[in-house]
Amino acid sequence: MTTDPLLLRAKGLKDELVLIRRDLHRYPELAFGEQRTAEKGRAYLAALGLDVQAKVAGTTGVVATLESGQPGPTLVIRADMDALPIAESTGLDFSSRNAGVMHACGHDAHVTCALGAAKLLVENKAQLRGRILIVLQPAEETPPGGAQVLIEQGRILHGVDAAIALHCHPGIPAGTLAFRSGQMLAHSDRFLITLKGKGAHAARPHLSVDAVAVAVQVYQALQYLVSRENDPLHPFVLTIGRIAGGVAANVISETATLEGTTRSLDERVAEEVPERMKRIIGGICHAARAEFEFQYERGYPALVNDPGLTEQALGSARGLLGAGSVRSLEHAEMGGEDFAYFARKVPATMFRLGVGNAARGWEHSLHSPRFTLDEDALPIGAAALARIALDYTANGKAK
């Protein structure tokens, strides 16, 4: 059993961390609207004596600087703040009070862990070298996201040597951390298909071009790209998450829309997808005498963790928790993350914070209205971020 004093201190902060997380959870805010969340974070960091910059690049972004007074590298600890447009159904007594908005991806926990790490680092400043930047980032959930804005307009990575972040995972038990070197997450894009037919009375289908019927054909045919045009050794997902069309039971709809996302681990596949989709949609619409508009929005690039930094972080985590509580992830996942923009500029690594608890039924997936987490994970996340930061600054830049 590990006796790392940083972990022991973090566990002593659990009640404080739980209060922070539950407060943030009650009042979730959507992308670029994280006013209250940002102010809570700013006030907490300022109370620690850190130099805090708010409203970075005209957004809700917050950057706090901890100077050690000793020469050494600069490390970013990043946490995303935004919630999702989901109506919560957990039944928790601290459920969302903002109708239709929920922290269903654990960003309330991410912010809490970053704030906890900041407190631990301030308390252990004598062991620190270089400087630490605590970045509270807006708008991870909504491409083009907040990372690019902070990096390009806020220049938050100027002089930075490396960046780290964590992300909740309900499929990993609380008390466990998981790391992956190299590619961790996929390219993530979005699309909108608008179909236009010809409306008519439900009793006279021969006078119509049924946009809903065309939408059904488009939905099915697009999966052909996954099952028959894509190399199965290069994972690719095409998901249509929303279909809308029709106004009444006895009216053949003139218009219909389909919205969705594509995910790919292969950059070449990601590059070719829009033209392939357009070909499929165009063929069906031509056959059905319908018209269409196709909008494809490039989202986030693949997240690739730096091998050297990841290895250092993995060693720090094992020292903190013991080897039995730290995993290596065998495969990349199809999720997307705008932390990828950090990783394209500096050596970076994101690791998984286990928050699941099977015995209590806390295993609902991210982005589920029933997602919740085991709060025993909060001090572990805070301690892991702080330990990795302390060890990194002591050892210098990742090789």
**What's the Rg (C-alpha) of the chain?**
23
Length of the chain counted residue by residue: 399
Beta-strand relationship, 200-201 and 251-252? antiparallel
Angle between the N-to-C axes of helices 35-47 and 14-26, in degrees from 0 to 180, rounded to the nearest 10: 160
Task: Find the catalytic residue in 300, 333, 337, 392.
Answer: 300
Cα separation, 161 vs 24, whole angstroms: 30
DSSP3 helix / strand / coil % (the chain, rounded to 5) = 35, 25, 35
CB neighbour burial string for 131-158, b if at least 16 within 10 angstroms, e if fewer: bbbbbbbbbbbbbebbbbbbbeebebbe
Residues 6+ apart with CB under 8 A from 76: 132, 133, 135, 156, 157, 160, 162, 163, 164, 342, 346
User: Is 375 among the residues known to form the active site?
Assistant: yes
Cis peptide before 170 (omega within 30 of 0): no
Task: Find the catalytic residue in 140, 337, 363, 375.
Answer: 375
User: Is 300 among the residues known to form the active site?
Assistant: yes
Q: Looking at the annotation, which residues are catalytic?
A: 300, 375
